[in-house]
Amino acid sequence: MDTGTIVAVAPWAVLAGYCMLVWLFSPRRASPLQFFTGSGEAGGAPSLWVLVASAAITWIFAKSIANAASLGYAFGPVGGVGYALYYLSFAVAAVAVYFLRTRGGHRSLSAFLVDKYGPLCARMFLIAVAVRLFNEVWSNTKVGALYFGAEGSGGYWAAAAAITAFTVYYTWRGGLRSSLLTDAGQMLLAAVLLSVVLVVVLPPLAARGLPQVAPEVSLAGLTFCALAAVQVLSYPFHDPVMTDRAFLTKPAAMVKGFLAAGLISGGFILLFSSVGVYARAFGLEGEPAVSVPASLGLPMLLIFNAVMLTSAGSTLDSTFASTAKLAAVDWADRRGPPDARQRRLGRAAMAVIAVIGNAPLFAIYLGDGVGPAVIAATTISGTMVMGLAPIFLLSFLPGAGPASFHLAFWPGLAFGAVKTMEAATATAIFPAWLDIGGGAYADDLGINVWGLAFCTAGYVAGALLFGRRVPAGRARAPSA
C-alpha cells in the first residue's frame, strides 16, 4: 500500500476504532425515564464520578479545543488562559442551580422559569437554548470532519455525515443514558490522547522557548480574558449540555461534581492551548489544530484526529439528548414521569436537529473559514444571552417577575443581534467609545460590560416598578 493510500485510509481506521469503543459503552436500550434522566436500571442517580466525567468531557468541545489552539497561536499563553476562563461557568452554574433546587425544589431551569416568570418567558429562554444546540451541531461536526479532507472535499462531507449518523444512532437508542455511559470512555480516551500530545509538543517548545508577543497583542489577549470573565456570568445558563446534568444528582453532590469537572475540563483546554503556542513558536501557518499534527507526521495527525472525534462525539450526543428533552419535556413543562410518546417526540427532534444543525457547513461556498466561524459562534452566542445573568443570579429579589425577565432578556438579545450584524457585514455599528481594552475583542468586551450593566438595571427596574405579576408556581418540596 503506497503512502498516499495510507494517509487517506488511516483516519477512517481511527473513526472505526472510535465507533467500536463508544459502542461498547453505549446501552442497547433505555426506558423513557432513563432516556430523559440518565438514571440506572433501578432508577438511581448517576454516581459522582460518572457526573464528573460526563460534565467534563461534554464541555471539552471539538470547537473549544480548536479555539484554544487558535487563541494560543494568536496571543501566546494568555490566549489559552482566556479560553480556560470560560470553564468558570461550572462554578457559576453549580452555585445558581444549588439554590434553585434547595430553596425552590425546581427540577430544571425551564420549570424554574415557568414558576418564577411565567410560561411565555420560559419559552423565550428555550428558543435561545435551541439556537445554542443548533450551533453545537455544525461547529463540532465541522472541526472533526476537517481531519478527513479539506473543507468541501468528498472526504470532509463523508466524515461529517458518518460522525453525525453514528452519534444520532446510539443516542437515539439510549438518550441521556447513552450520553452518560459513553462519556466515561470518551473522557478516559481524551486524557490518554492529551498526554501523548503533550509529550510530543512540550519538550521542543521548552527548548525553543515561549514565542515573543508584542505589547499590543498581549493587550488584545488580556482583553479576551476579561471578555471571558464577564460572559461566564450568563454563558452557562443557555447550555443544557451543562445544566441538564446539574439536576441528575443530589444538590451537594452536584456542586462537588461540577467544581471537579470545571477543573478537569478547564485544565484540559489550557494544556491543549500549548499546541497553538507551539505553532506560533515554530512559525507554522494555518489552523494550529491541523498544521501542528501535519508538521509532526501521520501518527500525530491520527492522534489529533482521535482527540477531535472524541470531543466532537461527546458533545454531539449530549446535544441530541438535550434537544430531545427540550422538545418532549421542557417545552410543554411536563413534570411527571416521561412516557414512550415523549421518547418518540424526543427522537424525532434529534433527527431534525441533526439535519438542520449541519446546514451551516455549506457556508464554505460563501467563503467561510473554520477558525473565525467557531470562535464567533462562542463569543456572539455569549453576547446574545447576557441578560440571563440577572434572570438567574438575581432571582431572589422581591418583586422580580415577568417584567424583570423581559427588561433583561430582550436588551441582551438586541445587543447580540447587532453584534452578529457587525460580524456578518464587517462594518462597525457600535460607537468606538464603547470599546474597552485593545485589539479585536475590545468591541466585544465593551458591548458585554455595558450591555450586562444595562440588562441588570432593567431587571432591577422591573422588580421595583412592576413587582411580581405572575401567579405563584406549583408548590413542590425542595430536592434532597
d(C-alpha 273, C-alpha 82), whole Å: 10
Tell me, what DSSP letter sits at residue 364?
A: G
CA-angle at 150, arms to 144 and 156, nearest 5° = 50
Cell 425515564 -> residue: 33
- What's the pLDDT tens digit per position in 328-355? 999 999 888 999 999 999 999 999 999 9
CA distances from 345 to 111, 291, 342 (A): 19, 42, 5
The arithmetic mean of pLDDT across residues 270-278, rounded, is 97
Helix, strand, or coil (residue 368): coil
Helix, strand, or coil (residue 385): coil
Q: Is the sign of the CA dihedral 136, 139, 143, 144 positive or negative?
A: positive
Tell me what pLDDT residue 475 has.
41
Q: Which of 212, 19, 341 is nearest to 332 (CA)?
A: 341
Other CB atoms within 10 Å distance of the CB of residue 424: 10
pLDDT at 6 over 80: no
Q: Which of 140, 138, 143, 144 is nearest to 18 (CA)?
A: 144
Which cell numbers in the block locate residue 328? 418532549
Which cell numbers in the block locate residue 23? 459502542
The arithmetic mean of pLDDT across residues 315-338, rounded, is 94
Q: Is the sign of the CA dihedral 80, 81, 84, 85 positive or negative?
A: negative
Q: What are the sequence ranges of the domains in the chain?
A: 17-367
Tell me what pLDDT residue 422 has.
81
d(C-alpha 18, C-alpha 359), whole Å: 25
Helix %, strand %, coil % of the chain (to 5) = 80, 0, 20
pLDDT at 208 over 80: yes
Tell me what pLDDT residue 261 has.
97
Mean residue pLDDT of the chain comes to 90
φ and ψ of 108, to 5 deg: -165, 165
Tell me what pLDDT residue 476 has.
46
Half-sphere exposure of 111 (CA within 13 A, CB side): 19
Tell me what pLDDT residue 250 has.
95
pTM of this structure: 0.92
Rg (C-alpha) for the chain, rounded Å, is 22
What is the number of helices (H) and of strands (E) in the chain?
A: 20, 0
In the structure, what pLDDT confidence band is assigned to residue 468 with cuts at 50, 70 and 90? low
For 64, residues 6+ apart whose C-beta sits below 8 A from its C-beta are 83, 86, 269, 311, 378
Tell me what pLDDT residue 42 has.
64
Cell 415577568 -> residue: 402
CATH fold of 17-367 reads Sodium/glucose cotransporter (1.20.1730)
Alpha helices in 38-153 (DSSP H): 48-58, 62-75, 77-84, 89-104, 109-117, 119-145
Tell me what pLDDT residue 366 has.
61
Tell me what pLDDT residue 310 has.
93
In the structure, what pLDDT confidence band is assigned to residue 381 with cuts at 50, 70 and 90? low
Q: Contact at 8 Å (CB) between 403 and 462?
A: yes
φ and ψ of 369, to 5 deg: -120, 145
pLDDT at 376 over 60: no
Q: Contact at 8 Å (CB) between 76 and 218?
A: yes
Cell 477543573 -> residue: 263
Q: Is the sign of the CA dihedral 15, 16, 21, 22 positive or negative?
A: positive
Which cell numbers in the block locate residue 239? 447550555
Looking at 14-23, 123-132, 365-374, which range is the least confident one? 365-374
Cell 455549506 -> residue: 362
d(C-alpha 447, C-alpha 467), whole Å: 28
CA distances from 435 to 227, 375, 376, 431, 458 (A): 12, 19, 18, 8, 22
Which cell numbers in the block locate residue 359? 446546514
Give the orientation angle of helix 402-425 with respect to helix 370-384, to 10 degrees: 160
CA distances from 124 to 119, 131, 145, 334, 406 (A): 9, 11, 33, 17, 10
pLDDT at 470 over 60: no
Task: Tell the burial category of 472 from Cβ atoms under 10 Å away from its Cβ (0-12, 13-18, 19+).
Answer: exposed
